[in-house]
Homo-oligomer: A and B are copies of this chain.
Amino acid sequence: VTRVIVTGARGFLGRQIVAALDRRGMEVHALTSSRPDPTIAAAQWHTVDLLAEPVRALFERIAASHLVHCAWDTTHGAFWSAEVNFSWVGASLSLLRAFADAGGTRFVGVGSCAEYDWRHGFCCETVTPLQPATTYGACKRAVYDLAQRYCAARSLSFAWARIFLVYGPHERPERLVPSVVRSLLAGDVARVTSGTQLRDLLHAADAGEAIAALLASGLEGPVNIGSGEAVPLRRVVEMIGALIGRPDLLALGAIAARPEDPPVLLPDIRRLREELGFTPSHTLASGLSDAIEWWRQSAATAR
């Protein structure tokens, strides 16, 4: 049985990774800075603040062969330029070293499309320059570069999952899909941009599955994580309107796109599809239906 540590295990993406690794029959050690969530999967939970506490003793006790490092601060809006990004650089390197010293053999880090120079629009792992425009992207990129070198020096296997636009259950409510879904479910107008931006959306369960598959494989280096389907955000929003049955509440073009919002931001997913052999299980329609259903139940529970 493969023993794997997942950091950020209660997070939006981390919980899907934990579930996907558990489905593969791995022994999952789930690290969180908050409370364990046993509803996610049959994992062994460990509560630890990676920014404040040493992990050496814990990692030696667990003695995992695999590590998925998903923990990071992603407070909506603030995370792009938050100072805590710098803390995650040192913390990420520290935990990688503790993992290697405890006998670990394969590391998978969770990176971001924000590592790329977005002026290129279409992002290919081996071609697109890593020229982040944000603090978040720069710190992710620094961890990518240094962790890759560290793993090479210590003969650890290394892969790096670059996440694009992931949506689904437990997403931060201020983000695009949840905010439109929640407005429409509440009968409120959803004010959005004109939606010409071309994006790649992936359901969180598929993203978790892709990262679990990446971990289980021996694939090395950076791998973009996406669906491979380019959609204008307008179509996403209109699909939500149709699925909820309230297209009348969509105010497309009511707000301006932010100037730093690129017209095209798409992953080249050939490594993911051809080298890893991954295909998503959700279509955009089925994925959005699932997200809508989750927010509907979430609202019902809150009442």
Contacts and interface: CB of A to CB of B under 8 A. Distances in A.
A16 B285 CA distance: 66
Interface stretch (A55-63, A134-142, A170-178, A225-233): A134-142
A153 interface: yes
**Residue of A87, A97, A142 with most partner-chain B CB within 10 A:** A142
Copies of this chain, complex-wide, total 2
Q: Chain A at the B interface: mostly helix, strand, loop or mixed?
A: helix
Given A142-B142, A145-B142, A146-B142, A153 B83 contact: yes
Contact of A89 (B90, B135, B153): B90
**Residue of A87, A90, A97, A138 with most partner-chain B CB within 10 A:** A90
A87 B97 CA distance: 10
Nearest to A94: B90
A177 B224 CA distance: 48
A81 interface: yes
A35 interface: no
Interface in A68-96: 81, 83, 86-87, 89-91, 93-94
A130 to B, nearest CB: 10
A149 interface: yes
Contacts of A45: none
A150 interface: yes
A94 B91 CA distance: 11
A140 to B, nearest CB: 11
Given A135-B153, A142-B142, A153-B135, A93 B97 contact: no
Contacts of A135: 149-150, 153
Contact of A86 (B138, B139, B146): B146
A97 B90 contact: no
Contacts of A150: 83, 86, 135
A79 to B, nearest CB: 13
Interface string A132-165: 0001001100100110011001000000000000
A90 B87 CA distance: 7
Contact of A93 (B81, B89, B94, B145): B89
Interface in A121-135: 135
Contacts of A146: 86, 89, 138-139, 142
9 contacts: A83-B97, A83-B153, A86-B93, A89-B89, A90-B90, A90-B94, A135-B149, A138-B145, A139-B146
The 10 A-B pairs with the shortest beta carbon distances in the complex, nearest first, are A90-B90, A142-B142, A86-B93, A138-B149, A135-B149, A142-B146, A86-B150, A138-B145, A90-B93, A86-B146
